[in-house]
Structure 1
Amino acid sequence: MHRRAFTRTLAAAALAATLVAAAGCDDSDDTAKASGQSLEKVTYLTSFGTFGRDAYAYVAKEKGYFADAGFDVDIKPGGGTGENLKIVTAGQAQFAPIDLTGLLLAAGSGQASNYVAVSGIQQRTMAAIITLEGNGITSPKDLEGKTLSDSPASVVRNLFPTYAKLANIDASKVTWQNGTPQTLMGTLAAGKAAGIGQFVVGKPTVEAIAKKPAIVLPYSDYLQDLYGNVLLTSQAYAKAHPDRVKAFTGALLKGLGDAIANPDEAAQVLKKYVPTTNPQAAAAELTLMGPFVKSEASGVPVGALDSQRVARSIAILQGSGQIKPGLTPEQVIDFSLVPTA
């Protein structure tokens, strides 16, 4: 009896040791997962500040889409097309949305290298001038003699000569002053500028800040072939990690789809990460952005880019004298990484 009891004691001790060891392994695995050690740390820049239009990246983070794709993403406020381009090409961020027209302008003038677009975000340009009722601007021609504010790196400002030519505006009669993503709307509300460079979806946020009705002059009224934002990464990263680029793109576009389908939810997610967010204005921006994200052409997936459309965009910019001849779509877009139907 004594020997049998001793044997049972040894067996119980062995079982306990096995369970402890197993539990220790599980805890270690869970700790590793929780710490994100298996995830690649990358930096993502928003397009322009932290407005509702960029909430989709925070949705992808909040819902675990980035983590599921193998990424631990640090989202930072972007400074517009030119600034984002500099940061990505310098390797200080791995991904950023950049207006494709701004990218073409930079490429066509030889101002940038080591970059590649890998996905569309908006199927039409959202570039616009936004003003307020009472500022004497109701049509493009009214911009003459006025002072506008925007970042020097903004695609709205850099594309203005082409827009002006097509809209019959004398660009030499329009004065530009420098602004930042954080100050532009306040500048307009305070009457320090008659209009600002913005995306069309900025209208609700402008009205919330200025407490006045806003008037929008969309560039797409005259530049219908131009895409909006595209997802950018460096050539080096895309060449070394094409599968990771595709995985990141898929996760981001999933967040984009959710944000467009449920703008109120996305606005609350944005407020969680950016407490100064006005949820109503953010949701309104996303609602306005929906038609720009989804192509009217059947069978065209979210994120698609068409080389012929890009070629037409290049031709428009060349025709207005903003870029030199010789640029091709393949020089700025890696179509092997772009989502397809």
Structure 2
Amino acid sequence: MNLVKRVSAAALVVLLAAGACDSGGDAPASAPPDKVTYLTAVGAFGRESYAWVAKEKGFFAAAGIEVEIRPGSGTTENLGLLASGRAQFSANDLSAVMIVLGNGKYREDVRAIAAIQQRTLNSVTALAATGVNTPRDLAGRTIGGVQGGAPWLLFPAYAKLAGVDASTVKWIGVEASQMPKLLATGQVDGVGQFVVARPAVEKAAGGRTAVVLPYSDVLTDLYGNALIASTKVIREDPDLVRRFAGALMEGLVYSIEHPEETGQILRKYVPTTDPATAAAEVALMEPYIRANGVVGAFDGARVARAIAILRGTSIIAGELPTADLVAFDFVSGQVR
């Protein structure tokens, strides 16, 4: 990316809050880099590749940060690692984080600081040959999903609004990397996946057509993944949080503007990657990331509406003020 384009992309992104502006968000050149651990939401798929892009293109290094990137294992496990101090940042579906925090777990330990996708990517994905074409076709079916992951946690809310009796649908725990294979071999009728996983599913199924049932069709105010930080690092080093958010969002923008290069970068760090499939996922993710020319921002009123949706479907039992979910001080353009 040339300098002009890079500056333009960065301007879309995390235009960092005032506290970081004096230094441009970069650590002093003479200072040793801050070392942090970042967890992907789940696995090491194309949709998670922007973290490796930020590493490969030097965005983290320019911000004075040395990052260890680890494949995550879903919302519940990731939040536990943040709460225990074994990681400082993770990507996780914001709605799943709402469910965990709204039911009283990790509420003092984590906060969302930036929106990675402006709409939820969650879905149930099936093969057309199984006869699953609408949400109601899921009745009596078996769905594979990451236990504690967002598609599983959100399914009761989706089912209620889509007119499906969730009690008739059986979920079983499977590893994220095994989902396309299990679906292709008929061991499950559907998988709880992100909508952008369609290319991987169809490849595993030998080119058979996949049917994607997006949760966003009925859960319209929900965000997708968010950058989550431990409250400990927010409290003790807010400048590090700003710098990390800025570098990660810069990687996010670069990845969607260069999907083919992104697929190759991911293969460098994860040799089992099919770069073409990864690039296809990244390209599909682009419209979920940009909204009104802003990347990374939250709207507090919309966050409140999303909480209300989940409370209205009884997935969240208690109150969840937006301030207990989102720290609005680290990305400019966020509306409280």
Q: Check whether TM > 0.5.
A: yes
Q: CA deviation at 1:325?
A: 3.9
Structure 1 CA distance for aligned equivalents of residues 163 and 285 of structure 2: 27
1:66 equivalent to 2:39? Answer no
Give how far 1:110 is off: 0.5
The answer to whether 1:122 aligns with 2:122 is no
1:205-250 deviations in Å (ceiling 9; x for gaps) = 1111121211100000001100001101111110111111000000
Gaps of 5+ in 2: 1-29
Map Cα deviations across residues 131-173 of structure 1 (whole Å, 9 max, x no partner). Answer: 1121110000000010001011111001111000000001111
Aligned pairs for 1:197-276 (under 5 A) are 197-211=192-206, 212-276=208-272
Percent of pairs identical after alignment? Answer: 46
Is the CA contact (8 Å cut-off) linking 1:119 and 1:339 kept in structure 2? Answer: no
How far apart, CA to CA, are the structure 1 residues paired with 2:317 and 2:172?
27
1:1-341 → structure 2 map (5 Å cutoff): 38-113=32-107, 114-211=109-206, 212-295=208-291, 297=292, 299=293, 301-340=294-333
Question: In the alignment, is the contact (CA less than 8 A) between 2:103 and 2:318 conserved in 1?
Answer: no
- What's the CA shift for 1:63? 0.7
Q: Distance in 2 between matches of 1:104 and 1:338?
A: 20
Tell me what 2:19 maps to.
Answer: none
Relative contact order higher in (CA < 8 Å, ≥ 6 apart): 2
**Inter-partner Cα distance in structure 2 for 1:70 and 1:317:** 39
TM-score (norm 2): 0.88
Give 1 or 2 for the bigger CA radius of gyration: 1
Counterparts of 1:53 and 1:227, CA distance in 2: 15
Measure the CA separation in 2 of the matches of 1:245 and 1:238.
6
Contact 2:74 2:147 in 1 (8 A): no
Shift of 1:37: 8.2
Distance in 2, matches of 1:209 and 1:306, equals 38
Post-superposition Cα deviations, 1:227-280, rounded to whole Å, max 9, x if no partner, equal 001101111110111111000000000000000001001110001111111111
Residues 114 and 245 in structure 2, CA contact (< 8 A), matched pair in contact too = yes
Shift of 1:93: 0.8
1:107 and 1:272 mapped to 2: Cα distance? 36
1 CA distance for matches of 2:269 and 2:170?
Answer: 36
| TM, length-normalised to structure 1 | 0.87
Tell me how far apart the structure 2 counterparts of residues 81 and 326 of structure 1 sit (CA, whole Å): 20
Give the count of matched residue pairs. 303
> Does the CA contact (< 8 Å) of 1:271 and 1:278 recur in 2?
yes
d(CA) in 1 for partners of 2:187, 2:76: 24
1:75 to partner: Cα distance: 0.7
- Structure 1 runs (4+) deviating above 6 angstroms are none
Any unmatched runs of 5+ in structure 1? 1-35
